Amino acid sequence: MVFERSSGILLHPTSLPGRYGTGDLGQWAYEFVDYLVEHSQKLWQMLPLGPTSYGDSPYQTLSAFAGNSLLISLDKLVGEGWLSEQDVVDVPNFPESRVDFGHVIDYHRQMLDRAYENFVARAQEPQLLALEEWCDRNRDWLDDFALFMALKAHHGGRSWVEWDEAEALRKPEALVAARERHAHDIGLYRWREWIFNRQWLALKAYANGKGVRLIGDIPIFVAHDSSDVWANPDLFFLDEKGYPTVIAGVPPDYFSETGQRWGNPLYRWSEMELDGYSWWIRRIRASLELVDIMRIDHFRGFDAYWEVPASEATAVRGRWVPGPGARFFEVIQASLGGLPIIAEDLGVITPAVEALRDGFGLPGMKIMQFAWAGGVTDPFLPHNHVPNCVVYSGTHDNNTTIGWWHEEATPDIKSFVNAYFDREVHEINWELIRAAEMSVAHTCIIPLQDILNLGAESRMNLPGREAGNWTWRCTPADFKHPGINRLVHYTKLYGR
């Protein structure tokens, strides 16, 4: 049974405590698993795990297959002998409650470079063999990714369309020369991914052994500046120089007069269908190695997506184009078996999208913060929930519930909330948490910020804001906050 009645917490690993400037796969990741178990939570939901780029967004990564080496535990590298105790004595004075990505990335790069040099100098045959065997098993994405990263570093971090043309357009002789010229860096990036994978799978085994399942996240679209697009240009709508001709977005709506111009290149779905969606099958299989359940972001794009000419400055001038539809999921199901997928079905959802979701038995999402503007028939209100869904107080894209109440909820919304709960609400986060836990939805996920009674200053992401997102971290003291005991009470009271 993929979805039993259960409760869990949303927390991205970068938001964990730790002395190295960001959460990682070390001590605090294991302590968080123990925290979940101790407090009757069965699920740990997180954001995409790929290597981030400009803007630090986990939804715009350099690869749909690779892991974020920023999450590699330096303490575990000390434990394996690739770093010394002395190497990690003089750690910069990083902020405790936020990630200063620029400084953290530089520091981790130096430490990982040092660890790799020690590995090259001292690794024994069994370790070298294990690395090589893992690289062989993952060659279908790893070789391109490692070369992409080496070339990107060589070109000062510039987007691949700005590289030397022969490298950008993957001329065979240029790639052969690049592999020889950048062999050291290619080895470094391959090693980083191996280390990430080993550390992650050890954490997953620990969590699963304790009865905790991991929920991951797959953005439907990939970043243009990624090894995925660079290595597979025939799968995307690109011009002869590699630039997108059409891009993803959403049309104008109540929230934006100009829509949202995301900029991701769009798939040539007809081309993907010709080889049985093999790129997608590999992508989903790789994700399910790392997590137990996947949330697919912007699920509606499988039914129809908003296509915007890349020359347009906004998303106003676009058109709806049919997606791959049911055929895609039939092929995926035939290849991989069951579909442990949560469909992110937020926004304006059509009957066709609902039919696609329900036809494969995929649970959708209900966000408690969204429930109060549409009257008593609003599908997000608890009395309108269905069992096959996942309910949240809020998500990474929302304000914290307290921040929403004080900064975004209108007087009409507050009046409706008070009427719904039949009293004047004073602890909005706990009212929504209790209602979510009480829901008939089989799965309930609460962001840690809401459990800790935190306000807008702890928001994870504000869509459209160029800087300052993804930086929130909890502290060791937060794991002693009494709010978690209240969550335990509701979890047990409502049979989760």
pLDDT digits (tens, 9 = 90+) for 295-320: 999 999 999 999 999 999 999 999 99
Whether the predicted pLDDT of 245 surpasses 80: yes
Candidate list 75, 87, 358, 397, residue with the active-site label: 397
CA distances (Å), origin 212, targets 9, 10, 135, 205, 209: 11, 13, 29, 10, 7
Candidate list 217, 297, 450, 478, residue with the active-site label: 297
Share of the chain above pLDDT 90, in %: 95
pLDDT for the residue numbered 257: 87
Whether the predicted pLDDT of 264 surpasses 70: yes
DSSP 3-state of 326: helix
Candidate list 193, 344, 345, 437, residue with the active-site label: 344
User: Is 297 marked active-site?
Assistant: yes
The number of C-alpha atoms within 13 Å of 147 and in the hemisphere containing its C-beta is 21
Question: For 120-124, 135-139, 253-257, 465-469, which range has the lowest pLDDT when averaged over its residues?
Answer: 253-257
Q: Please, which residues have CB within 8 angstroms of residue 223's CB and are 6 or more apart in sequence?
A: 53, 60, 61, 62, 229, 264
State the residue for tokens 């009674």: 453
pLDDT for the residue numbered 255: 66
| Beta-sheet strand order (sheet of 260-265) | 260-265, 246-250, 304-309, 319-322
pLDDT for the residue numbered 54: 85
Choosing among 3.90.10.10, 3.40.630.30, 3.20.20.80, 3.40.50.170, the CATH entry for 6-67+203-493 is: 3.20.20.80
Q: 142-185, pLDDT tens digit by residue?
A: 999 999 999 999 999 999 999 999 999 999 999 999 999 999 99
Q: What does the mean pLDDT of the chain come to?
A: 96
pLDDT for the residue numbered 106: 97
Whether the predicted pLDDT of 357 surpasses 80: yes
DSSP 3-state of 284: helix
User: Is 344 marked active-site?
Assistant: yes
CB-CB contact of 196 with 49 (8 Å): no
Whole-prediction pTM: 0.97
If we measure between CA atoms, which residue out of 272, 273, 276, 283 comes closest to residue 234? 272
